[in-house]
Amino acid sequence: MDDLSDEAFRLVVRAWVVANYPPEIRNPLKRLHWNECKSWYFKLAEKGWLCPGWPVEYGGMGLSPGKQLIMLDEFERHGCARTIDQGVLMVGPLLIAHGTDEQRAFFLPKVLSGEHIWCQGYSEPNAGSDLASLRTLAERDGDDYVINGQKIWTSMAMDANWIYVLARTDRQAKKQEGIGFFLVPMDTPGITVRPLMTLDLNEEFAETFFDNVRVPASALVGQPNRGWSMAKALLGFERIFVGSPKQSAYALARLRDLAERMGISEDGSFLKVFNRHRLDVEDLTDLYGVYVEQVQRGEIPGPDVSMLKVFQTELYQRIGETMLDVAGEHGGMLEPMEGNRALNPAGLFLQSRPSTIYSGTNEIQRNILSKNVLELPG
Amino acid sequence: MTNADDLRMIRESAAGIAPRTSDLKRIRALRFTEPGFDRTVWREMCEMGWLGLLVPEDQGGSGLGVQAFCALTEELGAALIPEPLIAAAMAARLLPSDMLPDVMAGDRIVLPAWQEKPLSLDLADGGTMFAGGRVTGKKVFVPMAAGADAFLVTVPGGLALVERGAAGVHLECQTTQDGGNSGTLTLDNAHAVWIDGDASAALETACMATSAYLLGVMDRVFGITMEYLKTREQFGRKIGSFQALQHRSADLKIQVSLARATVNAAAKTQDESGDSALRKAAVSRAKARASDAASIVTRGCIQLHGGIGYTDAADPGLFLRKMMVLAPAYGSAAVHRARFRDLAPVGDED
Ligand SMILES: Cc1cc2nc3c(=O)[nH]c(=O)nc-3n(C[C@H](O)[C@H](O)[C@H](O)COP(=O)(O)OP(=O)(O)OC[C@H]3O[C@@H](n4cnc5c(N)ncnc54)[C@H](O)[C@@H]3O)c2cc1C
């Protein structure tokens, strides 16, 4: 695929998406659960397109950054759903960079086949922005660890069959230094998931309770007290993903549909606003490309990747707000206009709201930028 | 005439039904039900004289002004009251005296059906016509229409009253983000009673009352959020001690204060000025500010809450959803800014 010209590649992707994307989940109104999005996951997996960024030797496409962007753009234009992608986006890259050969051999094929669906167990009720203060405990007991505690806001925990968990392995150590990184099957006795309803009225995240959850010592990745640095590396990947133009590009395409429906797509005042968003999306895409290239070279993204996350999420929200402006009274309705899923201004607006909260709030990203990138005092 | 004491009394009288400290249980329970509000509470509101606040005393109302009504609707906004007082009051002052008693008692709910397209303040675009005791056309975005017994329909030159159950009256309700509903009323040669009158002034008052309601919405959610910043801890400190949040909070407070000043001044202009263009320009400024500020403040409050702000169980979301319905209602910020520009062209100030 890398031999094709960009234009030819785009047409190949477009034709395949049109022919293969399950029409019943085009422009989904909400984040889809596994039983709703797995058909798309399996299509991608079958075609070998599930992991465009992974190296070919691990089952990825090893695709150049430029072509990854084209692929993403075509998916968004068509209104393709987000799958449950923690394995593809986070666990895969982490193990490729930090895992042992055994871990890679065991886990990567199961991500590629859809056998393992992952969720992220980081946040706790009292450890959100201050993640390092987490209290879930993993105590060594012979050959096992026993995990006790509570996670919260675990996205898609009810769909996942594996969870990666941060838990305290040393209560005496400084808060960042006593944390372990565990890979745990969700059906381990003692794990309970209680779904929580989002503002978008979707049971999309959950509380995940650990009550004497016994796992073998091999569930630990790396050293017992060195989980924090891995977690941070993963957050870097997450921020690249959240900073990708995916959401903004999707929102922009739907804004255009909406403007057409409202009969203002040629209005000067609308075009001014639309054009501004459009250039923002294009510029974001360039900045994103810089980070995709970094990952391609095998580098772990640094703290500056927070720029991408801040700009993307706030752009996504601005487009969501423009949608409400354009929709007028329709933006106050619960259902999409005329039953057309592409015309869902209120849903899109609502879904854009948490993007400045998840994967580290934008306040925290700005703290990181000012401290670790700009090295300002204080 | 309304003096400061009257306004205080009105605010205090609201506390029974719309307490500033309510736990919002009643509001949650009514969401996504039909008709989305409670007729018993509606009757209580009518007994308190709220529906008749703007109706002249000789017709059984209390003949108070826009400032009084806005003082009340601000309290309703702070408590997210779903009962359709603003819409029903718009209709009540247009009904002839002989039709008022059961309406004022709360036994019969008449809601105005004036709008024919989104993002519009036109009362009668010619899309709904009255002739020979019959009305034909289509009206949209009738708030809480599922609970109406009759509709007061604006038509060129006057008003037409149609019964909800009459032949040729077709009502379709859509659920709104706040858990209420919005009606599309299709009239096909439906029997109607002609009523002389012009809804323009009543529409202006509804715009004002909605601005005040939004003021209550933003003020309350801002208060809830400031409390949260003083209790939630991260990094061993109250999150309200982080300068980033202090600055964000200060910015939101500026919006609430701007909205309050603008709404109060515009309400006063309604009660005291006889200049129609001046009055309308003030209304537009108030609604534009209230809609924008409510959006900024409710969004900001979700952000300040972090993850819990994005749950349905936490209260800030209720305020955000109310904003989504009311910011565009009775003219969005953009609609009112455009009208302001037309009413007060640059260079005309002196
Ligand atoms: C839709 C969604 C999905 C999520 N999915 C997952 C998931 O799958 N797995 C998981 O582990 N977590 C998940 N999260 C949790 C997310 O990572 C946390 O919500 C986030 O880190 C914020 O933590 P908090 O909710 O405790 O808010 P808090 O940390 O309490 O923040 C409250 C407010 O304080 C501000 N604040 C806190 N500290 C500072 C500071 N030092 N300086 C300035 N401002 C500060 C925040 O920016 C925010 O505005 C998800 C969250 C959402 C909304």
Distance of alpha carbon A251 from alpha carbon B189, whole angstroms: 42
Q: What is the tens place of the pLDDT at every residue in B261-275?
A: 999 999 999 999 999
Distance of alpha carbon A164 from alpha carbon A126, whole angstroms: 19
- Domain A243-373 sits in CATH at 1.20.140.10
For A196, the closest of B235, B309, B311 (CB atoms) is: B311
Q: Which whole number is the average pLDDT over B121-144?
A: 95
pLDDT above 80 (res B75): yes
First to last CA, chain A: 49
Contacts of B114 in chain A (CB under 8 A): none
If pLDDT is split at 50, 70 and 90, which confidence band does B348 have? low
If pLDDT is split at 50, 70 and 90, which confidence band does B147 have? very high
pLDDT above 80 (res A298): no
Q: What angle do CA A259, B206, B190 make, to 5 degrees?
A: 75
pLDDT above 80 (res B279): yes
For A130, the closest of B235, B311, B333 (CB atoms) is: B235
CB B41 within 8 A of CB B35: no
User: Catalytic residue at A375?
Assistant: no
Distance of alpha carbon B150 from alpha carbon B172, whole angstroms: 14
Tokens read off for B14? 């609201």
Query: Residue B126: what pLDDT?
Result: 86
Which residue type is seen at B127?
Answer: G
Q: Please, where in chain B does CATH 2.40.110.10 lie?
A: 110-195
For B311, the closest of A126, A197, A367 (CB atoms) is: A197
The secondary structure of A27-45 as a DSSP string is S-SSPPPHHHHHHHHHHHH
The top-level CATH class assigned to B110-195 is mainly beta
In the DSSP assignment, the letter for residue A369 is I
Min Cα distance A171 → chain B (Å) is 17
Distance of alpha carbon A93 from alpha carbon B146, whole angstroms: 53
Q: Is B243 exposed, middle or buried (0-12, 13-18, 19+ CB in 10 A)?
A: exposed
Is pTM, for the whole model, over 0.90? Answer: yes
Mean of all residue pLDDT scores within chain A: 94
Q: What is the tens place of the pLDDT at every residue in B314-327?
A: 999 999 999 999 99
- Coil, strand or helix at B337: helix
Q: What is the tens place of the pLDDT at every residue in B166-182?
A: 999 999 999 999 999 99
Q: Please, where in chain B does CATH 1.10.540.10 lie?
A: 4-105
Q: What is the tens place of the pLDDT at every residue in A154-197?
A: 999 999 999 999 999 999 999 899 999 999 999 999 999 999 99
Backbone angles phi, psi at B262, to 5 degrees: -70, -45
Contacts of B309 in chain A (CB under 8 A): 199, 357
SS (H, E, C) A104-160: HHHHHHHHHHCCCCEEEECCECCECCCHHHCCCEEEEECCEEEEEEEECCCCCCCCC
Tell the CATH topology of A6-83. Butyryl-Coa Dehydrogenase, subunit A; domain 1 (1.10.540)
Distance of alpha carbon A34 from alpha carbon A44, whole angstroms: 14
- Say which residue the tokens 């599930």 belong to: A50
Query: Is the Cβ of B332 closer than 8 Å to some Cβ of chain A?
Result: yes
The more confident residue out of B347 and B211 is B211
CB B314 within 8 A of CB B171: no
pLDDT above 60 (res B1): no
User: Domain ranges in chain A?
Assistant: 6-83, 118-227, 243-373
Interface size, chain A vs chain B, as Cβ–Cβ contacts under 8 Å: 108
Buried b / exposed e over B123-143, threshold 16 CB at 10 Å, is bbeebbebeeebbbbebbbbb
CB A166 within 8 A of CB A222: no
Tell the CATH topology of B200-343. Butyryl-CoA Dehydrogenase, subunit A; domain 3 (1.20.140)
Buried b / exposed e over A59-85, threshold 16 CB at 10 Å, is bbbebbbebbbbbbbbbbebbbbebbb
CB A93 within 8 A of CB A164: no
Please state which of the ranges A84-93, A292-301, B216-225 shows the lowest mean pLDDT. Answer: A292-301
Tokens read off for B150? 């009759």
If pLDDT is split at 50, 70 and 90, which confidence band does A237 have? confident
Distance in Å, CA B319 to ligand 1 centroid: 20
Query: Residue A293: what pLDDT?
Result: 85
Query: Hey, which residues 101-130 in chain A have their CB within 8 Å of chain B?
Result: 123, 126, 128-130
Tokens read off for A264? 């203002």
Query: Hey, which residues 220-279 in chain A have their CB within 8 Å of chain B?
Result: 262
pLDDT above 80 (res B210): yes
All residues at 6 or more sequence positions from A122 whose CB lies less than 8 Å from its CB, including other chains:
A131, A134, A151, A165, A166, A231
Query: Residue B2: what pLDDT?
Result: 62
If pLDDT is split at 50, 70 and 90, which confidence band does A232 have? confident
Q: What is the tens place of the pLDDT at every residue in B237-254?
A: 999 999 999 999 999 999
Distance of alpha carbon B188 from alpha carbon B169, whole angstroms: 6
Query: Residue B112: what pLDDT?
Result: 98
CB A225 within 8 A of CB A170: yes
Q: Do B118 and A335 touch (CB under 8 A)?
A: no
Q: What is the tens place of the pLDDT at every residue in A76-97?
A: 889 999 999 999 988 998 888 8
CB B139 within 8 A of CB B184: yes
Strand order across the beta sheet in which B150-155 lies: B110-113, B150-155, B158-163, B193-195
User: Ligand 1 — pocket residues by CB below 6 A?
Assistant: A 119-123, 128-129, 153-155, 205, 354, 357-358, 360-361, 363-364, 367; B 232, 234-235, 239, 242, 244-245, 303-304, 306-307, 310
The top-level CATH class assigned to B4-105 is mainly alpha
Tokens read off for A116? 């393992």
Other beta carbons less than 10 A from residue B305's beta carbon: 23
In the DSSP assignment, the letter for residue A371 is I
All residues at 6 or more sequence positions from B345 whose CB lies less than 8 Å from its CB, including other chains:
none
Distance in Å, CA A292 to ligand 1 centroid: 25
If pLDDT is split at 50, 70 and 90, which confidence band does A364 have? very high
Q: What is the tens place of the pLDDT at every residue in B13-67?
A: 898 899 888 889 999 999 999 999 999 999 999 999 999 999 999 988 999 999 9
Distance of alpha carbon A98 from alpha carbon A150, whole angstroms: 26
Query: Residue A335: what pLDDT?
Result: 97
Q: What angle do CA A254, B327, A341 make, to 5 degrees?
A: 25
Query: Residue B198: what pLDDT?
Result: 96
If pLDDT is split at 50, 70 and 90, which confidence band does B349 have? low
Tell the CATH topology of A118-227. Butyryl-CoA Dehydrogenase, subunit A; domain 2 (2.40.110)
Distance of alpha carbon B157 from alpha carbon B258, whole angstroms: 37
Active-site annotation holder among A74, A124, A204, A238? A238
Distance of alpha carbon A66 from alpha carbon A247, whole angstroms: 18
Other beta carbons less than 10 A from residue B20's beta carbon: 14
Contacts of B310 in chain A (CB under 8 A): 198-199, 353-354, 357
